[in-house]
Amino acid sequence: MEQRKSEPRKSAADKKLVIGWFSFTCSEDSTILLTELLNDHLDEWKKVVEFRYLKALKTKNSLDGLDVAFIEGAISSETQANEVKKIRNNAKYVVAIGACACTGMPSASRNAFVGEQINEKIKWYMSHFDYSAKVKKLEEIIKVDDKVDGCPMNVPAFLEILNKYLKIFKIA
């Protein structure tokens, strides 16, 4: 009798939280802080988290099927706005990370420029690249489910949010 091979089924215990980490206009201080958190948490997180998009650390990245997208930075252009909309469409939840994503500032400082502050050099950059008229916080572009404020992000708040989603997806 022919034996049929079957794919090993993933049990609930094998399920990992599929996350993406994205940076837009900012100093990327929260990304640096994330790399700091890995000093103590990488071994533990590898068991329960799949880093499906983390450009700072991986070459092979994908937007597909994200449980949670963590998005750092303000939105400076239509190109960036389209990118975050695409991320939103691929993620069940979106968390704004850090002050620039949550409030726009300080990356949105140029929104307050008046008169001579918008000098020839700034005009040159604005006209040669695809800047939006205003820098926007994340929730002006897409729905945001949670926020971790701070410059850089508040670490206890980030850990609390991560644990919240691990529980929502019944992991750990």
Partner 1 sequence: MHSGEITIDNITKIEGTAGLKVTIENDRVKDLKFIIKDYRRFYTEAVKGKPYIAASSFLSRICGTCSVAHLFASLEAIEKSQGIVISEQTKLLRRLAYNGLMIRDHALHLYFFVLPDVLGVDSIIDIPDNHDDIGHILLHDSFDIKKIGTAITEVIIGAAIHAPLPTVGGFLKLPDPSQFPDLISRLENIRSQVIRGIKTFFDYKESLIRNSDYLCLRNGKSYDFIEGDIINSTGKRVAEDKFHDFLKSVVIPYSEAEGYVFSDEHEDYLVGSLARVNFNKDLLNSRTRKDIQEYLTVFPSNNVHHNNLAQAIEILQCVDDAIDILKTLKIIEEKPVRKPPQAGVGVGVVEAPRGILYHMAKVNAKGMIEDYDVIVPTAQNQISIEDDLKKYFNENLSKDENTLRLEAEKIIRAYDPCMSCATNFLKIEWIRK
Can you give the binding site for partner 1, defined by CB under 8 A? 23-33, 35-36, 38-40, 42-43, 46, 51, 54-61, 76-77, 80, 106-107, 109-110, 112-113, 117, 119, 122, 125, 128-129, 131, 151-152
Q: Give long-range contacts, CB 8 A cutoff, 24+ apart: 126-134.
A: 129/77, 130/77, 130/78, 130/79, 131/76, 131/77, 132/75, 132/76, 132/77, 132/78, 132/81, 134/108
CB of 161 to partner 1, least distance (A): 19
CB of 64 to partner 1, least distance (A): 16
Q: CB burial class (10 A; 0-12, 13-18, 19+) of residue 41? A: middle
With beta carbons less than 8 A apart as the criterion, state whether 17 and 48 touch: yes
CB of 74 to partner 1, least distance (A): 9
Q: Which is nearer to partner 1, 113 or 159 (CB)?
A: 113
Q: Which is nearer to partner 1, 98 or 166 (CB)?
A: 98
With beta carbons less than 8 A apart as the criterion, state whether 164 and 113 touch: no
Q: Which is nearer to partner 1, 83 or 145 (CB)?
A: 83
CB of 6 to partner 1, least distance (A): 28
What are φ and ψ of residue 144, in 5° steps?
A: -115, 130
Q: Which is nearer to partner 1, 94 or 135 (CB)?
A: 135
With beta carbons less than 8 A apart as the criterion, state whether 115 and 90 touch: no
Q: Which is nearer to partner 1, 5 or 128 (CB)?
A: 128
CB of 100 to partner 1, least distance (A): 9
